[in-house]
Amino acid sequence: MTRRSPFSLEGRTALVTGANTGIGQGIALALAEAGATIVAAGRSDMSETLGLIEAAGANAVPLQLDLQQPGVAAEAIASAVAAVGPLDILVNNAGIIRRSDALDFSEADWDEVMNLNLKAAFFLSQAFAKAALAAGRSARIVNIASLLSFQGGIRVASYTASKSGLAGLTKLLACEWAAKGINVNAIAPGYIETNNTQALRADPERSTAILARIPAARWGKPSDIGGAAVFLASDAAAYMHGAILPVDGGWLAR
């Protein structure tokens, strides 16, 4: 009898938010390649992500929603379950960033970032956990934190606050839910080639300074985050609770 790999996600279902591009797309594809059925959720068109997953011989369905709207989290979990059955994995990846000096930062930009990056992640986790516990199922939550869960950064006040909050929330939920069979962990990506870092990569001075501080001497790719997500969603990470896993090319080690 062939032993199942502890990294396999065969037979499992995963909801990935913000899966249309960037890190979310990389995670959705990696989970699918490990065997999971994917619900790719977000406001934007998911056709590119679905095409990549289908080309890999895996299954995915789109779920269009706006996580900034009140009450959407519970509806999202219910819709995902209706589409693919009980969920095993939730990846809270959806997020935005707004850049401005702290002296000029607007209340609107603060609220928009906090509502999506932190509030939506909590209420999705709550609805997901309620469904898992009601069904008597173990489950995995993977939050996408940031280097700025550890550092301050500059000109991104609400983003830093939200990602620091998400790291704390990851630990709190792990403390409450670990004994109930729900693993809650987070990944802290470094500087990854995504829409959120386009402005930095287009600025020669900032890009050069960033690369000079990364021991790996390159920007990360969404696939670099995908492998870490597969690990945290799998049986290989069964005894991991409340961890914030940096995937940063060595940035924090410098």
User: What digits encode the pLDDT tens for the residues 194-209?
Assistant: 887 888 899 999 899 9
Where in the sequence is the domain holding 107, given as residue range(s)?
A: 13-247
| Residue 254 is assigned to a structural domain of this protein | no
Determine if residue 85 is left, alpha or beta; phi over 0 gives left, psi from -120 to 50 gives alpha, anything else beta: left
**What is the model's pLDDT at position 145?**
98
Average pLDDT over residues 9-24: 97
Distance CA 118, CA 138 (A): 23
Q: 159: closest CA among 92, 68, 97, 115?
A: 97
pLDDT in tens, 29-66: 999 999 999 999 999 999 999 999 999 999 999 999 99
Instruction: Give the other-Cβ count within 10 Å of 250's Cβ.
Output: 13
- SS3 of 54, please? helix
Distance CA 224, CA 219 (A): 10
| Residue 253 is assigned to a structural domain of this protein | no
% the chain with pLDDT above 90: 94
Q: Which residues pair with 15 in a beta bridge?
A: 39, 90
**What is the model's pLDDT at position 197?**
86
**What is the model's pLDDT at position 1?**
55
| Residue 205 is assigned to a structural domain of this protein | yes
**What is the model's pLDDT at position 200?**
87
**What is the residue type of 213?**
R
In the chain, what is the straight-line distance between the N-terminal and C-terminal CA atoms, in Å? 46
Distance CA 43, CA 246 (A): 27
Tokens of 233: 């969603």
Give the chain's domain count.
Answer: 1
Cβ neighbours of residue 26 closer than 8 Å, sequence gap 6 or more = 221, 222, 223, 224, 225, 226
| Residue 252 is assigned to a structural domain of this protein | no
pLDDT in tens, 79-120: 999 999 999 999 999 999 999 999 999 999 999 999 999 999
Is the pLDDT at 77 greater than 60? The verdict is yes
Distance CA 185, CA 40 (A): 20
Alpha helices in the chain, H assignment, sequence order: 22-33, 47-55, 72-84, 107-114, 120-135, 157-177, 198-201, 204-213, 222-233
What confidence category does residue 237 fall into, taking pLDDT thresholds of 50, 70 and 90?
Answer: very high
| Residue 174 is assigned to a structural domain of this protein | yes
**What is the model's pLDDT at position 2?**
63
**What is the model's pLDDT at position 198?**
87
Domain CATH code at residue 219: 3.40.50.720
**What is the model's pLDDT at position 71?**
92
**What is the model's pLDDT at position 31?**
98
Asked if residue 137 lies in contact with residue 181, where contact means CB atoms within 8 angstroms, the answer is yes
Catalytic site residue from 123, 159, 231, 251: 159
Concerning whether 191 is annotated as a catalytic residue, the answer is no
- Phi, psi dihedrals of residue 112, rounded to the nearest 5°: -60, -45
Average pLDDT of every residue of the chain: 96
- Phi, psi dihedrals of residue 233, rounded to the nearest 5°: -85, -10
Give the global pTM.
0.96
pLDDT in tens, 119-169: 999 999 999 999 999 999 999 999 999 999 999 999 999 999 999 999 999
| Residue 21 is assigned to a structural domain of this protein | yes
| Residue 8 is assigned to a structural domain of this protein | no
